[in-house]
Structure 1
Amino acid sequence: MRKAILLTNGLFNTENAKTAHGLVRESNRFKIVGVVDHVFAGSDAGVLLDGKHRHIPVYATVAEAITAKPELCIVGVATSGGVFPGTLLNEVKQAIELKLDIVNGLHDHLNERPEIRALAEKNKVVLVDIRKPKKLPELHFWTGKIFDIKTPIVAVIGTDCALGKRTAARLAVNACNNAGLNAQMIYTGQTGWLQGGKYGFILDATLNDFVSGELEHAILTCYEETNPDIIFIEGQSALRNPTGPCGSEMLISGNAKSVILVTAPKRKYYEHEPAWGEIPSPESEIALIQQLGSAVIAIAINTEHCSEAEALAFQKQYEEKFKMPVMLPLQEGCEKILPVIKSLCKS
């Protein structure tokens, strides 16, 4: 794995840095050796994230981060609209001048900026825009072959954006694999690829006509190459988030008949914006998923703004109300779902 540093430009403690958060927690594609964030310089990124020391120092500048001997630099933020925030683009330029290859997951493609491209050519640096749409001949249209797969497919869907759907999916996969099952994950966002995902596609960089087909193709390829016991699909956005409703593709085109629902009990509005509307209750979301032909088999709680006591209280409340496993993924992992998954695999 190539050594990499992450750029978060003062946003490490926000939801905008979820790409960096995922890579700090786990990456099978890159070895993360540092984070560049002037606000949190001097800290350990793991301690900042969840209190776990991961020996990933936070530096004030790219020049300081060079002491970690990185080979490349990853843009570690995922902003609304996928644009470069603040002075992050200046940090990208500094990294290029220090001969670091750049991996960018924003919609704002570096290769389409003449001055950045010229600077990269001058310094013999490679620019990788992973959210660049595929060319038409590379895309797949939906075929219906998904219905031939008998392996259970579980979609990890949230009631809003930035709730930890990808993290919950990865932890569920890890729990299954540790229990002796062959579990695979279909990534649908740039961070899933950055973490080392082999099967998947970047949904919001895909022409709408081909989203269903790309999802089906990823699942079929995964099935043919790995013969899995269970397949998890990373969800995106939420079924009713007005800024980008998403999720029905997983249930209908991806034939995911089972769902892990991720929700944050203390989050009231979509992406914390009152003007965008209130997030429906878990009961309402479960009912909607049933209307789409699938069933919620477990709930995962995002404990933002919760004390430990409040998180445990919500977990107990939901277990009593919904009569299904309720997980605290970051605090306890996802082992609680194993009996349900093993039952699906036997059916």
Structure 2
Amino acid sequence: MYDITSVEEFKKLNPFIIVGCGGGGEKFANFEGVKSVGFVDDSIKKQGMQFCDNVISSSLTELIGKTDAKSIAIMLPIGAEGAALKYAVQAIDNGLNVITSFRSLSLSENASLLKFAKSKGVVIKEISSRLDVINKIFGTAPSQCTEVLPKITYKPKAPVVFVGGTSQECGKRTTTRILGKTAQEKGLNAAVISTDEMGLESPADLNFRAGSLSVMDVAAAIMGTMKYIEEEKNPDIIFVEGQSSLTEDGNPHPRGLSAAILIGSRSDAVVVCHRPNHPFREPRGIDYEIKAIEAVEPTKVVGISLNMRNVSDKKDILKYEERYKLPAVDIKNGGASRLLDVIIDYVGLN
């Protein structure tokens, strides 16, 4: 009832004042047939600047008086719900219709706003995330959009090591945990972030299932967690456990999750885990994973952690070093100290 699902519905509400001068505001202004007559943004840095052939204003009330706008479109990011609510109330009070993105303001959670709009005889609608289309295709869908976290950007002061891998179940959680423990034994104040619900073992500082989040929230969750740990612990080094793989052939579904964790970690160095002769995964291999990681982020793979569970001849480790020109270790059998020394040397903690 309160969803808007077509450009034709926008056209009937022309012309618009658009609140939010970022990607969402620009996208809305570029809808075919939509007429924009003004822009508002709370950012002092943006006010007075040109945006989509208009000058950004600081006052919605002022623009309402100066233009022939019939509606406002609120295109603010997640985390700005307070500002979105303020502008919606101002617009309704002045007799304007309101269109809001699902990121800006959830109408299902603001029943009083719906009543206020009805009392003023104006239209208030939310741009649908079109989960109805997913439900039509699959017969099921979330009840609402699951993207909920503010899009923060944070680069830790401490060096960050991302522990990735060529597949699922190849040793990422074990490697992250053992590296953290070995770092502590060497006298470093190490922080360990696990992105798995099973990451409960010491020395993990925090763990959560990254796969339960919208992929749009994963990077923010990682950056927010690192910021929290730095404020609480002031670590010398941070280890972040990855999930799945960027390149695994047999199970493509979590690959976007792996990329989001890598991006969120903003890592200085990377360890790639690999399980030779994996019995139930289909890794493309170490060379594919290294190329993918270093293409996605400006970071460097500095070592290989091998899960030797399905290898009979443990001397095979030397073959990996010769092939990839990187230190390769059996993390569970004495290799952690050597790998950590490589990391410490690379990130400059000596």
Tell me which interval the TM-score lies in, with the shorter structure as reference length.
0.5 to 0.7
Residue 338 of structure 2 is aligned to residue 327 of structure 1: no
Distance 2:253 2:315 in 1: 31
C-alpha deviation, 1:237, in angstroms: 1.2
SS in 2 for 1:191: coil
SS in 1 for 2:200: helix
- Give the paired residue count: 202
Distance 2:146 2:321 in 1: 47
Picking from 286, 291, 298, the partner of 2:290 is: 286
| Structural RMSD (CA) | 2.7
Distance 1:250 1:256 in 2: 10
1:196 to 1:302, Cα distance in 2 relative to 1, 3 A: closer
C-alpha deviation, 1:193, in angstroms: 3.4
Picking from 276, 279, 300, the partner of 2:305 is: 300
**One-letter code of the match for 1:253?**
G
SS in 2 for 1:261: strand
C-alpha deviation, 1:251, in angstroms: 2.5
C-alpha deviation, 1:195, in angstroms: 5.5
Picking from 203, 206, 211, the partner of 1:199 is: 206
| Aligned residues of 1:156 and 1:233 also touching (Cα < 8 A) | yes
Identity %: 28
1:150 to 1:196, Cα distance in 2 relative to 1, 3 A: closer
Distance 1:222 1:198 in 2: 8
Picking from 159, 180, 186, the partner of 1:173 is: 180
SS in 1 for 2:315: helix
SS in 1 for 2:198: helix
C-alpha deviation, 1:179, in angstroms: 0.8
Residue 264 of structure 2 is aligned to residue 261 of structure 1: no
Q: Which residue is 1:143 aligned to?
A: 152
1:321 to 1:138, Cα distance in 2 relative to 1, 3 A: closer
1:221 to 1:239, Cα distance in 2 relative to 1, 3 A: same
C-alpha deviation, 1:216, in angstroms: 1.0
Residue 258 of structure 2 is aligned to residue 247 of structure 1: yes
Distance 1:180 1:194 in 2: 20
SS in 2 for 1:304: coil
C-alpha deviation, 1:197, in angstroms: 3.4
**One-letter code of the match for 1:305?**
N
C-alpha deviation, 1:217, in angstroms: 0.9
C-alpha deviation, 1:139, in angstroms: 5.6
Q: Which residue is 2:314 aligned to?
A: 311
Q: Which structure has greater helix proportion?
A: 1
SS in 1 for 2:221: helix
| Aligned residues of 1:251 and 1:257 also touching (Cα < 8 A) | no
Q: Which residue is 1:17 aligned to?
A: none
**One-letter code of the match for 1:296?**
V
C-alpha deviation, 1:345, in angstroms: 3.8
What TM-score does the superposition give when structure 1 sets the normalisation length?
0.53
Of structures 1 and 2, the one scoring higher in RCO (CA 8 A, sep 6+) is: 1
SS in 2 for 1:346: coil
1:256 to 1:204, Cα distance in 2 relative to 1, 3 A: same
Bigger Rg over Cα: 2
1:300 to 1:140, Cα distance in 2 relative to 1, 3 A: same
**One-letter code of the match for 1:280?**
R
Distance 2:300 2:318 in 1: 21
1:59-111, Cα deviation, whole Å (9 max, x unpaired)? xxxxxxxxxxxxxxxxxxxxxxxxxxxxxxxxxxxxxxxxxxxxxxxxxxxxx
Distance 1:239 1:138 in 2: 22
Distance 1:177 1:139 in 2: 35
